[in-house]
Amino acid sequence: MSALEVKSEAVSDLLDILRRGEWQIPEFQRDFVWSISDVASLITSIIQSRPIGMVTLWEQGDKPEVTLEPISIPDSPIRRMFVNKADENSKVFAVLDGRQRCTAIAMAFGGLRAKDLRSRLAGRFFWILRVLNLPNAFGL
């Protein structure tokens, strides 16, 4: 049995891991089901440096024990994958818990979105950061 390892990843590092296909989704998991509001709540937590939960991974050997696919969203009639180039020398991990968070981060910060404009996942995310209680430097 392997040792338990806990570590944190920056959003940019997580996006690189997902693009390389190192973290993949087992076929038995449900599809991405979060609402836009759920994604926005996660983004707010990230921007405010709040904890966003954990991802539970299962390291796969040379021959994965389950069927895996990269982070993806439905994009009629295909699936839109979030992989630039899979590195064959990398270890692959099955995401047992955390698919919704990983997919939401890929959508919000990595540009993953459906090209089919009829899809609820076809939009882009924009943020307006409002800074309060600043001295009025412009005399307005």
Domain ranges of the chain: 11-110
Stated pTM of the model: 0.81
In Å, how far are 16, 52, 57, 66, 124 from 95, measured between CA atoms? 15, 16, 5, 11, 25
d(CA 124, CA 73): 14
Which of residues 90 and 72 earns the better pLDDT score?
72
Task: Please report where in the chains the tokens 């570590």 appear, as a residue.
Answer: 7
Over the stretch 59-84, which tens digit does the pLDDT of each residue have? 998 888 899 999 999 888 888 888 87
Residues 6+ apart with CB under 8 A from 126: none
* Nearest partner of 21 among 112, 90, 78, 100, judged by Cα: 90
